Structure 1
Amino acid sequence: RNTTNYVSYKDLKKLMADLKMVYAAPDEAAALEELESFGKKWNSKYPKIYKSWSERWATLSTYFKYPNEVRKLIYTTNAIEGFNRQLRKVTKSKTVFPSDDSLLKMLYLATMDITKKWTGRRRDWSQIRAQLEIYFEERLEKAEF
């Protein structure tokens, strides 16, 4: 998300379409090629984006060790953004809290209310969970879904 902080609105859709070619690539080699073509196209106008991605490529490329289902779960942040929006909505009306504990209690109660409304299941969740169990077996043994 920080990639687009300084991108002009008129270029945003085109730039993000080109950047999506990088993280939607089938494997790391193809993604690196797409990053190079992204750099050739956008480096003259937004050099910081290509520089940032290429400098952090070792960290970003670990994303490609996971199967497509898990990758989509990683880059799809709508559920998280919706949850954060609902928490902001609760705290927005009250600007001052008497203590940190009062804020934590309010966020806890809001979280309980928000999670009561979560009734839907994610499409392909059983397939995603099976993949997660392969990669994170020791972590998932402790947690119950």
Structure 2
Amino acid sequence: MADLKAVYAAVDEPSSLDALDLFAEHWDKKYPKISASWRENWPNLSTYFKYPQEVRRLIYTTNTIEGFNRQLRKVTKSKSVFPTDDSLFKMLYLAMMDITKKWTGRRQDWSIIHAQMALFFADRMPG
């Protein structure tokens, strides 16, 4: 994973392509489809580099999402069968409400990220 992280955490697109080349040299013998998939999808993946470093870090950091999903799994694990899909949705909704009540912390660099996102998404963000 560290080799792949060098690709998406690179400073700019050319550095990222260099990191992808290094990744391919090291891993293509064992996992040839990974770098091939990245190269095939590069036009979509490379749009990521139009954002500043802080915003990109926010995009690729998934710890919060993984923690949220882990807490939802903990709630549903004790029940193996739900009578209806609606009952599952209700339970997940209530669990989500409890989980998000505990979210009190802020990212240290949130004001910088917010200002940069306001520039990129001015039409979607309240002023």
Match of 1:31 in 2: 16
Q: 1:37 is paired with a residue of what secondary structure?
A: helix
**Deviating more after overlay: 35-44 vs 61-70:** 35-44
Structure 2 CA distance for aligned equivalents of residues 57 and 114 of structure 1? 36
Task: Note the C-alpha offset of 1:22.
Answer: 1.1
Q: Which one of the candidate residues 109, 124, 128 is aligned to 2:109? A: 124
Counterpart of 2:50 in structure 1 is 65
TM-score (norm 1): 0.83
Structure-2 separation of matches of 1:17 and 1:106: 37
Letter in 2 for 1:23: Y
Partner of 2:26: 41
RMSD: 1.3
Shift of 1:37: 2.1
SS of the residue corresponding to residue 139 of structure 1 reads coil
Quick one: distance in 1 between partners of 2:30 and 2:80? Answer: 40
Whole-Å Cα distance in 2 between the matches of residues 108 and 37 of structure 1? 44
Task: Give the Cα–Cα distance (whole angstroms) in 1 for the partners of residues 81 and 117 of structure 2.
Answer: 41
* Number of residue-to-residue matches in the alignment: 127
- Bigger relative contact order, structure 1 or 2 (CA pairs below 8 A, ≥6 apart): 2
* Cα deviation, residue 101, structure 1: 1.4
Structure 2: which 5+ runs fail to align? none
Among all aligned residue pairs of Structure 1 and Structure 2, give the percentage whose two residues are the same amino acid: 69
Listed as ranges, the matches of 1:85-96 within 5 Å are 85-96=70-81
What is the rounded CA distance, in whole Å, between the counterparts of 1:43 and 1:59 in structure 2? 22
- Distance in 2, matches of 1:37 and 1:95, equals 45
Question: Where in structure 1 do 4 or more consecutive aligned residues deviate above 2 Å?
Answer: none
Secondary structure of residue in 2 paired with 1:140: coil
User: 1:139 is matched with which residue: 118, 124, 127?
Assistant: 124
Deviation string 1:90-116 (CA, Å, 9 cap, x unpaired) is: 111111111111111111111111011
2:125 aligned counterpart, secondary structure: helix
